[in-house]
């Protein structure tokens, strides 16, 4: 059945399989010390224009968030996030498992606002009993957000400025970063992100890799990183699997190309929904499109195409998500188009 | 340079790459709910002759140990292991990170002894202050051990009997299980292991997979397994990557074939070392061979072939490890043979 | 200086000091196994009309909450609390330190509402991705709340019914329980609380003890309780210190008497504030009174009497707390009255 | 029944009860910010001749060890301790609960040896795979040890020198410190201990306090100490309870006097055991005396006097502990003497 269920339904971009096959019998040292990891790291640093950065490859997104946040926080600190942030909602308590509180702020179209953050920090440090409270020790944001929305350069700069005023690190979850960088109208580039944030991760799993996220410390990471990663159960014997994939993704701009491809098709998809009179739940410029369906229509479509149910805003409607990916083709959109019926 | 540094230097068995390529564009549900995971689980259950078992696929070995042990222990319990056990020595505190003590017992050629275990359990429960102590809540053993040695059926049965008398689970780390099952003279089969243990993991990473371990609960696993795995950061969006690999490994007995292949070459390698007068540090029937070298010889060889330094038993000698794998060829052994010189 | 800063400014009720002095040279076994602990537990069970209950004595409130919540939750579960609940705001992350999320719900005059709780639980278990989320595994409420307000019997029964429908325990933080039980107009008795809740703690520190809280499991507690308590660092060698104090507090109804005493004086205090034209921030029937002051008045009073600053609802006002206790005397109220000036 | 079961059987030294009674109605600020805590801290710093030190009062010993070790270690570090050390044996996994491994070294009469420690540290940092291992991040020792033995000045200086060479902190558990300082023949003073160690705790619970240990950071403690203590559940609202007690203990040398008193009686007790032909298990110069009894004699005595069973060195003998304390009187020793019978 036709599927727009998510952006990780297929395996990986063919060039990755080719590279894995080509390099398969090379004997390489383990635990991320091979030359593919080193080369991939160099390419990522170049793409970030951050020669001083350090890059670590981790298998999955929740693991990367769990690790990064645990690395960045002191014991009595928590991580500030939008209440809709992935770490607050859909990671089964992976952050709390490491002993840290997720401190939610209101989400504005899925995004944190600098003013809310500044207020939180001001109120906290002004509180006479702040030593009895969890200190806001870092900021987490996802770009694109869980609703496909994007920070503008100004918004991210404002948040970054607040973080630097209070000397707490800003961490960006880029599980779908390519789809943000490739969005129409975005004014944020990867080097700018690397400059405004202290740590970020560049997502591979949802952008054409079999698995893998690149965790980028824009400045110095903590001591004994290999031990920290291993203690989290996140150090792979065959680190090559991640290094080779990111080497491919960051060769000839493939990562950025995959992002643009998916977003172009998503914009076309959005246009087709709108042309048939469907309503958007949130206007996303990225690869995830959120549509507000009457329940009957949601049922009808569910028999014809796979999508994700997102939420129930009221008794009669359902918000659903249709996602494109590096593997989506124009033909799939045509097929979808034939399944849509004019709404009134 | 020729390398016997370990059994995870190459990528993966070619059939795995073929399967990943063949299935690459299939759209599959995420998080291990795809049919390849299901089929791989069925094949593993069949190989274990354990139809009631449940199988979960995890990326790496430390992660699997960390997860399994945390799943099996109550908060004030610890895991009993040989002092040389991987969880006690080389996992950067991954077990303690989950709040549990590793309780070491003496290692006999890398193995736990049932009598030591029985004594520990008897002494503990007989101690009037046992409520002030960590309770031995499960037993961890590796098969093959960290020194390549193997439990006999009687030894494992004796340990299992002690565990069942005290109603604590027995967990077997099978990172290199294929090399144990394929060893000459072993009298332990996979179904017997599945019967004597409560939980085990069947290692893929060191037996020809790109990554992945199959965690087998011979009886009922705890509630909310997906959430537990995710909370540990160990739930992969593209679960297919693990499912497809284990599906290949457990089709037509490939897993067992790879084990036998590596062990046959390891026995040949051992023979060649002995023929040249080298001394074994421990007599291993599996794919890891531990040789006691004079330091000068260790230096000489290090320029010609890659191996792992293991330990320094005295000022003049070094114990080194030479490992074969699914990817080792007879030609490599011939090449090694030419590098060895007669010892006196 | 006159002080209404809190209810733990003085040492302890004189009868406690007398009992400590009288029993001082008795040689008693340690770790809570002495007969005073046993007798105090019996008296508490009698006061709760809960003969099947089990009682454990813990030094402080945060420690008791941390322990109780950790004891009651499974690893991927969180504790539901009002957003103003003590465990969510003023325990420095003690709950998250044990690996558990605090799941905030809106506070209505400091209280949880059964409907909000029912909605949360229904939505959670209805969510297809609930295995990727923290499960609401218990409910925490404080009685009196952090704002001195009280649940009615109906409100507590409604919350209890929701908990039992979803088979999750209801835990009541009674740091100031005596002041709730002694409040005018309350229709909740201790036996009713013990029937509606699964676990509760009866606070001593804020009701005339030097330290100590009585943690009551209305049904069976988890296994190896002494080890669990010790693992939390909460098992005192001289358990007698807690046992003797609670034995005194639950002899001849002293605990209830102290509660009524403080509340009567608090009602008198409220009346005096109102008589002078001061405004209440929240109408509390218990020993904590929250007054909304203009900032200038707050400053003026601060030079004359000690109170606690609570929050800044706007730029010109401050909410302050005046608390009575077992040690407050009518003379102190007279002295306070002379410091108040008519407001307009 | 006459009892030498331990040194925490009675309540507290009468002067403490007097001080608690005398100060009972003083209104004091909470959480250890009162002037008694401040004065007690000053007196302790003076006794340590460490004006730059900082002192924190914690309720119990396990809690103090758990907190101090968690404060001093980085995440992938463990604490080195004698295998007989309290943190390794009798704290129900409280250290591991905070995520840290206890790294046991052989005990020599209950003591660590500097050479063993130096070897461990050298081997660790020399190991090529040290990033896969828990790093020895601090040293724990108890003085007196769990067997009543004492470090000499030279022994402690040697251990301290190793720690400083590897830049890891040395932590001394002084649960019974007074009994060490008051021992005949000891050449270690409190100022010397404070100079050789980085952190220590001066035990109150076992030296005449109702509860309480003074945690002394000889140099700068970590940031946000109140929050760290509260997160561990160890911050008492009525901090005065601890401050007043330590103020009494460190006024007019009471702490040291209590230590000497108990040790003098213990030496007398030892002499009486020896005079009757009993055998010592270990020769302790402090308040705990370990006697090797034939099982029949252990049974006989158990009906007449309370002691602690320690271990079973063989099938026919039992090691028992007789402890004196601040509350032991010469008359009790006379009574004990009458119960002993000549051994052959």
Question: Predicted confidence band at C213 (pLDDT cuts at 50, 70, 90)?
Answer: very high
Average pLDDT over residues D258-275: 98
| B5, B6, B89, B97, best to mutate vs chain D, most D CBs in 10 Å | B97
Average pLDDT over residues B221-247: 97
* Chains touching C (3+ CB pairs < 8 Å): A, B, D
Structure tokens given for C63: 């420690």
Do C213 and C326 reside in the same domain of the chain?
A: no
In a domain, A6, yes or no: no
Is residue A7, in this structure, part of any structural domain at all? Answer: no
Q: Judge residue A10's burial from the number of C-beta atoms within 10 Å of its C-beta, 0-12 exposed, 13-18 middle, 19 or more buried.
A: buried
pLDDT value of position B31: 97
C101:A100 CB<8 A? no
Query: For the purposes of burial, counting CB atoms within 10 Å of the CB of B195, is it exposed (0-12), middle (13-18) or buried (19 or more)?
Result: middle
Phi, psi of D268 (to 5 degrees): -60, -45
D280 closest CA partner among D171, D148, D108 = D148
Calculate how close chain A gets to D98, using CA atoms only, in Å.
9
pLDDT digits (tens, 9 = 90+) for D164-212: 999 999 999 999 999 999 999 999 999 999 999 999 999 999 999 999 9
A196-236 pLDDT tens trace: 999 999 999 999 999 999 999 999 999 999 999 999 999 99
Please tell me whether residues A166 and A314 are part of one structural domain: no
Counting every residue, how long is chain D? 344
For residues B325 and B260, give the distance between their C-alpha atoms in angstroms, rounded to a whole number.
Answer: 10
Closest Cβ opposite residue A76 in set D74, D76, D224: D224
Task: Report the alpha-carbon distance of residue B94 to residue B63 in Å, rounded.
Answer: 8
**A80-95 pLDDT, tens per residue?**
999 999 999 999 999 9
Write the DSSP assignment of D167-181 as a string of letters: T--EEEEETTHHHHH
- For residues D68 and D114, state if they share a domain: yes
| Residues C293-308: tens digit of each pLDDT | 999 999 999 999 999 9
Give the pairing type, strands B2-3 and C135-142: unpaired
State the DSSP code for C207: G
**Chain B positions in Cβ-Cβ contact with residue C132 (cut-off 8 Å):** 31, 226-227, 230, 235
pLDDT, position C76:
97
Q: What is the CATH number of the domain that holds A312?
A: 3.90.1150.10
Structural contact between residues B174 and B210, judged by C-beta atoms closer than 8 angstroms? no
Q: Do C75 and B231 lie within an 8 Å CB cutoff?
A: yes
pTM of the model: 0.97
B226: chain C residues, CB-CB within 8 Å: 131-132
Query: How do residues C130-188 score in pLDDT, each as one tens digit?
Result: 999 999 999 999 999 999 999 999 999 999 999 999 999 999 999 999 999 999 999 99
Interface partners of chain B (CB pairs < 8 Å, 3 or more) are A, C, D
My answer on whether A163 and A278 are in the same domain is: no
Do C219 and C302 share a structural domain?
A: no
C76 vs A92: CB contact, 8 Å cut-off?
A: yes
pLDDT, tens only, B146-195: 999 999 999 999 999 999 999 999 999 999 999 999 999 999 999 999 99
The proportion of chain A whose per-residue pLDDT surpasses 90, expressed as a percent, equals 98
* Whether residue A221 sits in one domain with residue A133: yes
B&C contacts, CB < 8 Å? 44
Instruction: Report the C-alpha gap between D267 and D252 in whole angstroms.
Output: 24
Are D131 and B92 inside 8 Å of each other by CB?
A: yes
Helix (H) or strand (E) holding B67: helix B61-72
Give contacts of C14 with chain D, Cβ < 8 Å.
Answer: 24
- C259 neighbors C178 (Cβ within 8 angstroms): yes
Tokens of D244: 């007043």
DSSP character at residue C49: T
Cα angle D248, D249, D253; round to 5: 110
Chain B's closest residue to A62, CA to CA, is B233
Q: What is the pLDDT of residue B328?
A: 97
Pair B187, B151 in one domain: yes
Structure tokens at D216: 């002394």
More confident residue, B165 or D129: B165
Residue ending a domain, choose from D202, D229, D252: D252
Residues of C in contact with A99 (CB under 8 A): 93, 96-99
Task: Provide mean pLDDT across the span C209-218.
Answer: 98
Given a cut of 80, whether residue C344 has pLDDT beyond it is no
pLDDT band at B72 (very low <50, low <70, confident <90, very high): very high
Rounded-to-integer distance, Cα A198 and Cα A215, Å: 11
* Residues in a beta bridge with C173: C142, C201
Residues 6+ apart with CB under 8 A from C142: C85, C86, C110, C172, C173, C174, C175
| Whether residue D128 sits in one domain with residue D172 | yes
Average pLDDT over residues D16-36: 97
Asked if B96's CB is within 8 angstroms of D101's CB, the reply is yes
What is the distance between the terminal CA atoms of chain A, rounded to a whole angstrom? 27
Distance CA B206, CA B144 (A): 12
Partner residue opposite A128 with nearest CB, options C97, C132, C309? C309
**Do D226 and A70 lie within an 8 Å CB cutoff?**
no
pLDDT of residue B174: 98
The CA dihedral of C142, C146, C152, C154, to the nearest 10 degrees, is -50
Nearest CA in chain D to B134: D92
Quick one: D245 and D308 in the same domain? Answer: no
For range D223-245, the mean pLDDT: 97
- How much is the CA Rg of chain C, to the nearest whole Å? 21
How far is the C-alpha of D323 from the C-alpha of D6, rounded, in Å? 5
Closest CA–CA distance from residue D202 to any residue of chain C (Å):
16
Alpha helices in chain A (DSSP H): 14-22, 35-48, 61-72, 86-89, 94-97, 114-126, 153-165, 177-181, 190-196, 225-231, 240-249, 254-275, 295-302, 330-339
Mean pLDDT of chain D: 97
Residue entry with tokens 């005295």: B314
Contacts of A132 (CB under 8 A, 6+ apart): C90, C91, C92, D226, D227, D230, D235
Task: Give the domain CATH number at D158.
Answer: 3.40.640.10
Q: Cite the beta strand spans of chain C per DSSP E.
A: 2-3, 54-58, 77-82, 102-105, 135-142, 170-174, 199-203, 213-217, 279-282, 288-294, 305-306, 308-314, 317-323
Task: Give residue-wise pLDDT tens across range C250-286.
Answer: 999 999 999 999 999 999 999 999 999 999 999 999 9
Half-sphere exposure in the Cβ direction for A316 (13 Å, CA): 1
Distance separating alpha carbons of residues B157 and B175, to the nearest angstrom: 20
**Which of B90, B104, B134, B311 to mutate against chain D (most D CBs within 10 Å)?**
B134
CB–CB of C96 and A92 under 8 A? no
Sign of the four-CA dihedral B328, B333, B338, B341: positive
Give the count of alpha carbons within 13 A of D333, CB side only: 19
Q: Are A227 and A218 in contact (CB under 8 A)?
A: no
Say if residue B263 is in the same domain as residue B244.
no
C128 with A309: Cβ contact below 8 A = yes
Name A140's bridge partners. Answer: A171
DSSP reduced 3-state for B287: coil
Number of domains within chain C: 2
- Report chain B residues whose CB lies below 8 A from the CB of D99: 93, 96-99
Characterise A185 by phi-psi region: left (phi > 0), alpha (psi -120 to 50), beta (else): left
- Note whether A220 and A172 are same-domain residues: yes
- Using alpha carbons only, give the angle A153, A157, A159 rounded to the nearest 5 degrees: 120
Measure in Å the smallest separation between the Cα of C99 and chain B Cα atoms.
9
- Residues 6+ positions from A314 with CB-CB distance below 8 Å: none
Write down the pLDDT at residue B344. 75
- What number is the average pLDDT over the span C15-27? 98
- Assess whether pLDDT exceeds 90 at residue A6: yes
pLDDT digits (tens, 9 = 90+) for C34-70: 999 999 999 999 999 999 999 999 999 999 999 999 9
For residues C188-206, average pLDDT: 98
Q: Tell me what percent of the residues of chain B surpass a pLDDT of 90.
A: 98
Q: What is the pLDDT of residue D116?
A: 98
D65 to chain C, closest Cα gap in Å = 9
* Domain end point (choices C252, C276, C291): C252
Question: Has residue D244 been placed in a domain?
Answer: yes
pLDDT tens sequence across D64-75: 999 999 999 999
- Pick the closest to residue D101 from A233, B93, B106 (CA basis): B93
Cβ neighbours of A69 in D, within 8 Å: none
Q: DSSP letters along B180-227, please?
A: HHTSTT----HHHHHHH-SEEEEE-GGGT-SS-EEEEESSPPPS-HHH
Backbone phi and psi for residue D85, each to the nearest 5 degrees, phi listed first = -65, 145
Q: Which chain B residues are closer than 8 Å to C231 by Cβ?
A: 75-76
Domain end residue (candidates: B200, B227, B252): B252
Range of the domain at A99: 14-254
Question: Contact B224/C70, CB-based, under 8 Å?
Answer: no
With 0-12 CB in 10 A as exposed, 13-18 as middle and 19+ as buried, what is D165? exposed
Q: Please report the pLDDT score of residue A344 as a whole number.
A: 74
For residues D210 and B266, what is the distance between their CA atoms, to the nearest angstrom? 66
Tell me the DSSP string of D38-69.
Answer: HHHHHHHHHHHT-TT-EEEEES-HHHHHHHHH
β-strands C199-203, C170-174 pairing: parallel
**Residue B39: per-residue pLDDT:** 98
* A98 contacts on C by Cβ (under 8 Å): 99
- In a domain? residue C344: no
Q: Is residue B238 part of a domain?
A: yes
Q: Is residue B193 part of a domain?
A: yes
Q: Are D102 and B101 in contact (CB under 8 A)?
A: yes
Chain C residues inside the 8 Å CB shell of D7: none
Nearest by CB to C76, which of B75, B134, B231? Answer: B231
Residue D344 has pLDDT above 90, yes or no: no
| Domain membership flag for residue B344 | no
Of all helices (H) and strands (E), which one includes residue B282?
strand B279-282
What letters, b where the CB count within 10 A reaches 16 and e where it falls short, cover A102-125? bbbbebeebbbbbebbbebbeebe
Are residue C231 and residue C261 in the same domain, yes or no? Answer: no
**For A109-127, how does the pLDDT look when each residue is reduced to its tens digit (9 = 90+)?**
999 999 999 999 999 999 9
Residues from chain A that touch B97, judged by Cβ atoms under 8 A, are 231-232
């Amino acid at each position: 059945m036709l599927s727009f269920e998510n952006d990780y339904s297929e395996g990986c971009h063919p060039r990755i399989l080719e590279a894995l096959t080509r390099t398969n019998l090379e004997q390489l040292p383990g635990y991320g010390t091979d030359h593919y990891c080193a080369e991939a790291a160099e390419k990522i640093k170049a793409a970030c224009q951050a020669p001083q950065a350090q890059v670590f490859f981790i298998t999955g997104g929740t693991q990367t968030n769990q690790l990064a946040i645990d690395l960045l926080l002191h014991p009595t600190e928590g991580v500030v996030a939008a209440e809709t942030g992935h770490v607050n909602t859909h990671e089964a308590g992976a952050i709390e498992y490491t002993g840290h509180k997720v401190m939610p702020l209101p989400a504005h179209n899925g995004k944190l606002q600098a003013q809310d953050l500044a207020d939180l920090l001001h109120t906290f440090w002004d509180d006479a009993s702040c030593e009895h409270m969890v200190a806001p020790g870092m900021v987490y944001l996802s770009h694109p957000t869980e609703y496909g929305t994007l920070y503008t350069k100004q918004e991210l700069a404002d948040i970054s400025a607040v973080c630097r005023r209070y000397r707490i690190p800003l961490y960006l979850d880029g599980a779908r970063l390519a789809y943000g960088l490739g969005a129409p109208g975005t004014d944020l580039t990867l080097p700018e992100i690397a400059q405004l944030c202290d740590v970020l991760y560049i997502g591979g799993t949802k952008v054409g890799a079999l698995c893998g996220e690149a965790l980028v410390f824009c400045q110095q990471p903590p001591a004994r990183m290999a031990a920290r990663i291993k203690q989290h159960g996140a150090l792979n014997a065959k680190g090559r699997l991640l290094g080779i994939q990111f080497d491919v993704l960051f060769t000839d701009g493939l990562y950025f190309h995959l992002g643009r491809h998916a977003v172009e098709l998503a914009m076309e998809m959005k246009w087709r929904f709108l042309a048939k009179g469907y309503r958007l739940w949130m206007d996303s410029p990225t690869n995830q499109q959120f549509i507000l369906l009457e329940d009957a229509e949601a049922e009808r479509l569910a028999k014809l195409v796979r999508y994700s149910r997102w939420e129930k805003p009221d008794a009669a409607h359902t918000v659903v998500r249709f996602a494109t990916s590096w593997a989506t083709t124009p033909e799939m959109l045509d097929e979808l188009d034939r399944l849509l019926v004019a709404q009134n």
